[in-house]
């Protein structure tokens, strides 16, 4: 385009000049015959030629310059209107230009940025990473996409940027520099992570609901069969003399059937189909009668403490269910502790906000009474924490657990419109937080 424009100007100038010289000389020769007069006219003609060609060149060059300036202004306006960071560096990493978004990120004007490098604006580790990515783009000979971390001048927090870096060459193939475009994707990544977490919560809730319905149906049918077994076993025991050897077999059948009935009750609690009698309850008062029972469940080398909240909010709950929840959590805490240890029970009033509920499954904002059970046991990795409320899932050795204890706790809490948070790390113990709605 530059060559074409220059050729047009030169051709127009040469054509007009040639015509002027040819025609003006012919006119002078035809009209003037005196040598002295012809000399003066030729001098005047030369000055007129200079004036006319200068004016013509001025008009032509001005049009070209205006066109280039207009194009440059449009390009600059476009680049500065882009919300992404745009910059150009030479092969040595020295800035040649940048846009407004880049100026805001670096906290300097374009004039202050041009001629300087990343090492003048960002920590050395970040600058080293930027320089290495520039070299890789140059070596690749084409656009490279990567993620870079930048700490903007107006913030103390690093932001994640998705950057495109492209080597730029001139008409002869010489390397001019590296063009970079960076987009802040920090919020996008946060939203993707939040969406993934919410989807996982939804799938877990759907799975637990499905398993709960299945368990409830099985438990009802199983309970009916247990009723028949127990009734017939009791009838047979009534008819057998006390010294009959077969009585011990019937006693074992009855004991096993009653134990199975207890498991059925746990299944029904998990499925939220267990009949309940909720009452307005002061947790601190209720704990007074439960602590002695809980104390007998732990080993002598384990210290158990209870820290109540002064003025704790009251809740609507069946006292029997509270006993079941605490019994299962304390037994699990006891089994997680090897040797001496500590189990801490506490309560506190807590108001959950929208932000709090984002990390709690099926929770709604409001006032809750939080019951905490914290132990100093072995803790659990995240993959186990994700499964602990599944029925029949247990980390205990065979014969030591049914896998229904925490499933029952989950069912009871959900039945009372509450929610559970579990915090655990290997070697750092586990903390269960039970949130029960304020009455």
What number is the average pLDDT over the span 192-207? 73
Write out pLDDT tens, residues 257-316.
876 776 666 566 555 555 667 889 998 888 887 888 888 889 999 999 999 988 899 999
Residue 20 pLDDT greater than 80, yes or no = no
Question: Taking 90 as the threshold, does the pLDDT of residue 62 lie above it?
Answer: no
Residues 170 and 34 in one domain: no
- Statement to judge: residues 267 and 385 lie in one domain: no
Q: How far apart are CA 249 and CA 184, in angstroms?
A: 74
Neighbours of 289 (CB within 10 A): 10
DSSP 340: S
**Whether 381 and 403 share a structural domain:** yes
Q: Examine residue 189 and state whether it is found in any structural domain, yes or no.
A: no
For 257, the domain range is 195-275
353 within a domain of the structure (yes/no):
yes
pLDDT band at residue 207 using 50, 70 and 90 as cut-offs: low
Give the pLDDT mean for 42-60: 78
CA-based nearest residue to 167, from 123, 206, 133: 133
Angle (nearest 5°) at CA 402 between 396 and 407:
100
CA-to-CA distance for 122 and 106, rounded, in angstroms? 8
Predicted local distance difference test score (pLDDT) of residue 217: 66
Closest CA to 430 of 399, 393, 392, 395: 395
Taking the C-alpha atoms of residue 21 and residue 50, their distance in angstroms, rounded to an integer, is 11
Strands (E), 274-379: 279-281, 302-307, 315-317, 341-352, 366-375
- pLDDT, residue 372, reads 94
| Pick from 19-23, 108-112, 377-381: least confident | 19-23
**Judgement on whether residues 320 and 358 belong to the same structural domain of the protein:** yes
- Note the pLDDT tens digit of each residue in 64-104: 777 777 777 777 777 777 889 999 999 999 999 999 889 98
Give the pLDDT of residue 134.
92
221-230, 323-332, 377-386, 426-435: least confidently modelled range: 221-230
Q: What is the residue-averaged pLDDT of the chain? A: 82
- 248 and 326 housed in the same domain: no
Which has more confidence, 272 or 150?
150
pLDDT, tens only, 341-367: 999 999 999 999 888 887 777 788 899
CB atoms under 10 Å from CB of 391, counted, come to: 23
Any domain includes 292: yes
Claim to verify: residue 212 and residue 306 sit in the same structural domain: no
The mean pLDDT of 215-225, rounded to a whole number, is 71
Return the higher-pLDDT residue of 59 and 317.
Answer: 317
295 and 391 share a domain? yes
Q: What is the CATH number of the domain that holds 341?
A: 3.30.565.10
**Shared domain check, 320 and 430:** yes
- Claim to verify: residue 312 and residue 406 sit in the same structural domain: yes
Position 397 scores a pLDDT of 59
pLDDT at 96: 92
Average pLDDT over residues 403-412: 78
């Amino acid at each position: 385009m530059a060559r074409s424009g220059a050729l047009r100007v030169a051709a127009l100038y040469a054509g007009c000049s040639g015509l002027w010289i040819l025609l003006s000389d012919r006119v002078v020769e035809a009209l003037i015959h005196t040598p002295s007069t012809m000399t003066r006219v030729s001098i005047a003609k030369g000055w007129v030629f200079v004036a006319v060609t200068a004016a013509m060149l001025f008009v032509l060059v001005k049009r070209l310059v205006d066109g280039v300036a207009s194009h440059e202004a449009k390009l600059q306006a476009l680049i500065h209107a882009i919300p992404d960071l745009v910059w150009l560096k030479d092969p040595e990493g020295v800035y040649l230009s940048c846009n407004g978004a880049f100026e805001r990120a670096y906290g300097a004007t374009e004039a202050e940025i041009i001629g300087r490098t990343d090492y003048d604006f960002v920590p050395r580790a970040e600058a080293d990473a930027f320089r290495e990515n520039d070299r890789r783009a140059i070596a690749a000979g084409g656009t490279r996409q990567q993620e870079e971390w930048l700490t903007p001048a107006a913030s103390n927090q690093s932001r994640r940027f998705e950057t495109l870096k492209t080597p730029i060459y001139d008409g002869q193939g010489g390397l001019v520099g590296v063009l970079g475009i960076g987009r802040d994707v920090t919020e996008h990544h946060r939203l993707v992570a939040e969406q993934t977490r919410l989807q996982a919560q939804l799938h877990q809730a759907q799975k637990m609901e499905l398993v709960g319905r299945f368990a409830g149906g099985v438990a009802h049918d199983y309970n009916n069969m247990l009723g028949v077994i127990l009734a017939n076993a009791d009838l047979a025991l009534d008819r057998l003399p006390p010294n009959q050897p077969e009585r011990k077999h019937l006693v074992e059948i009855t004991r096993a059937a009653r134990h199975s009935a207890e498991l059925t009750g746990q299944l029904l609690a998990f499925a939220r189909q267990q009949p309940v009698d909720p009452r307005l309850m002061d947790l601190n008062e209720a704990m007074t009668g439960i602590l002695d029972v809980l104390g007998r469940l732990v080993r002598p080398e384990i210290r158990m403490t209870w820290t109540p909240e002064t003025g704790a909010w009251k809740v609507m709950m069946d006292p029997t269910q509270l006993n079941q929840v605490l019994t299962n959590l304390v037994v699990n805490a006891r089994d997680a502790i090897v040797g001496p240890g500590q189990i801490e029970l506490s309560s506190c009033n807590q108001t959950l906000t929208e932000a709090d509920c984002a990390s709690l499954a099926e929770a709604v904002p409001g006032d809750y009474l939080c019951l905490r059970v914290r132990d100093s046991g072995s803790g659990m990795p995240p993959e186990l924490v994700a499964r602990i409320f599944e029925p029949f899932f247990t980390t205990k050795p065979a014969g030591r657990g049914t896998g229904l204890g925490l499933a029952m706790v989950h069912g009871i809490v959900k039945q009372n419109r509450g929610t559970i948070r579990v915090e655990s790390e290997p070697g750092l113990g586990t903390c269960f937080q039970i949130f029960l709605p304020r009455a």
